[in-house]
């Protein structure tokens, strides 16, 4: 069955009309949705009422295997949402209270305001992320995304050649500290070891070449550290030029699906001491 879409950006991002993730779960619908994602890389589905956690997990599991919490939580994190499949992206603690400035759990969340792709620090990479909006602030808090297929296509040939075969090392803690979070303890560090991935990969479904970088990158194999970080920063600057970026303005009930193997994204600022922003993510993985 066809899904009606409107394109939101000249390069990527589609918005669905009339898809309901509670009921539109036939294999035909899922396969049509995957085709849309292969073309547009990002898909927004508005719903009048946010999906329940169970509905969110059930729909996501139709797309592929789901990532579960692989590690004990960062110390002090209360379990607001008792589901291993859900990443709590809100600014709320286990008692539904706003994290106060200075709380390291908030500092680590704010690190998501750097450009990244989800879970690139795992060897089994994230495919689609499904982020569901339960409460949105009146101002700010958009999610920005960049099309890394178009970015790669536009790179000068010389640069494409120089990137060929390079392997980057991605580490969760690298981006947490870079984003203003505290140094992890060695126990925390051990819960999320780094992973290595090619800087350029061929998308397993669309066959398009993609630049695979993130603020998680802490080095490039065989390259001196300052040269490697200079390269990553140069590539991020190229990739996040306005022509590659779409900014998604949230409404309660929206579910935004993005392809982590084709895009990068970041959260944007909002007054997280004043307003609640309750976003919940389920993440599919490669295998
Ligand atoms: C995420 C993420 C950004 C945002 O859920 O993976 O990076 O805008 N979110 O909440
Ligand atoms: Mn993310």
Q: In the prediction, which pLDDT does 79 show?
A: 80
Q: What is the phi/psi pair of residue 117, to 5°? A: -125, 145
Cα 18 to ligand 1 centre (Å): 24
Asked whether the predicted pLDDT for residue 72 surpasses 80, the reply is no
Closest Cα partner for 14 from 256, 283, 284? Answer: 256
- Domains of the chain plus CATH, in order, are 4-285 (3.60.130.10)
Greater model confidence, 21 or 19: 21
3-state secondary structure at position 84:
coil
- Ligand 1: residues with CB < 6 A are 89, 112, 118, 129, 131, 143, 265, 267, 279, 281
Q: Which among 67, 87, 88, 89 is the best mutation to test ligand 1's pocket, defined by most ligand atoms within 8 Å of the CB?
A: 89
Cα 1 to ligand 2 centre (Å): 30
pLDDT average, residue stretch 13-42: 94
Strands 42-45 and 209-211: unpaired
User: Of all residues in the chain, what percent are helix, strand and coil, respectively (each to 5)?
Assistant: 25, 25, 45
Q: What is the pLDDT of residues 98-148, one digit of tens each?
A: 999 999 999 999 999 999 999 999 999 999 999 999 999 999 999 999 999
Asked whether the predicted pLDDT for residue 11 surpasses 60, the reply is yes
CB 136 within 8 A of CB 250: yes
- What is the pTM assigned to this prediction? 0.97
State the ligand closest to the CA atom of 268: 1
Cα 109 to ligand 1 centre (Å): 9
Closest Cα partner for 241 from 150, 118, 166, 176? Answer: 150
3-state secondary structure at position 62:
coil
Strands 42-45 and 14-17: parallel
Nearest CA to ligand 1 atom 4: 267
Place of tokens 């990137």: 163
Question: Element (H or E) spanning 151, and its range?
Answer: helix 148-154
Nearest CA to ligand 1 atom 8: 267
Q: Which residues surround ligand 2, an ion (CB under 5 A)?
A: 118
Q: What is the pLDDT of residues 170-198, one digit of tens each?
A: 999 999 999 999 999 999 999 999 999 99
Q: What is the pLDDT of residues 192-227, one digit of tens each?
A: 999 999 999 999 999 999 999 999 999 999 999 999
Question: Quick one: which atom of ligand 1 is closest to the CA of 113?
Answer: 3
Q: How far apart, in whole angstroms, are the C-alpha atoms of residue 122 and residue 191?
A: 11
Cα 118 to ligand 2 centre (Å): 5
State the ligand closest to the CA atom of 267: 1
Cα 126 to ligand 1 centre (Å): 13
- CA 57 to chain centroid: 17
CB 40 within 8 A of CB 7: yes
Q: What number of other Cβ atoms are within 10 A of residue 232's Cβ?
A: 20
> What is the dihedral sign for C-alpha 279, 16, 68, 179?
negative
Residues written for the chain = 287
């Amino acid at each position: 069955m066809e899904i009606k879409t409107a394109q939101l950006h000249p390069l990527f991002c589609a918005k669905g009309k009339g898809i309901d993730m509670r009921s539109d779960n036939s294999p035909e619908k899922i396969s049509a949705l995957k085709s849309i994602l292969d073309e547009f890389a990002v898909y927004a589905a508005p719903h009048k009422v946010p999906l329940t956690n169970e509905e969110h997990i059930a729909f996501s599991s139709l797309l592929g295997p789901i990532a579960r919490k692989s590690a004990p939580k960062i110390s002090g994190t209360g379990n607001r949402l008792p589901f291993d499949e859900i990443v709590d992206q809100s600014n709320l603690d286990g008692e539904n209270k706003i994290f106060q400035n200075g709380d390291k759990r908030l500092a680590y969340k704010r690190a998501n305001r750097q450009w990244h792709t989800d879970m690139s620090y795992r060897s089994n990479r994230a495919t689609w992320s499904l982020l569901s909006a339960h409460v949105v602030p009146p101002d700010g808090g958009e999610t920005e995304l960049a099309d890394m297929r178009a970015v790669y296509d536009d790179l000068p040939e010389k640069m494409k050649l120089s990137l060929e075969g390079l392997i980057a090392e991605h580490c969760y803690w690298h981006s947490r500290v870079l984003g203003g979070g505290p140094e992890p303890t060695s126990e925390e560090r051990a819960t999320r070891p780094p992973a290595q991935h090619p800087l350029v990969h061929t998308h397993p479904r669309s066959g398009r070449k993609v630049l695979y970088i993130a603020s998680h990158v802490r080095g490039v194999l065989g390259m001196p550290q300052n040269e490697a970080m200079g390269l990553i920063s140069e590539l991020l600057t190229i990739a996040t030029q306005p022509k590659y970026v779409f900014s998604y303005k949230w409404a309660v009930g929206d579910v935004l699906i993005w392809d982590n193997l084709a895009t990068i994204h970041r959260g944007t600022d909002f007054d997280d001491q004043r307003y609640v922003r309750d976003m919940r993510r389920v993440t599919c993985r490669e295998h």
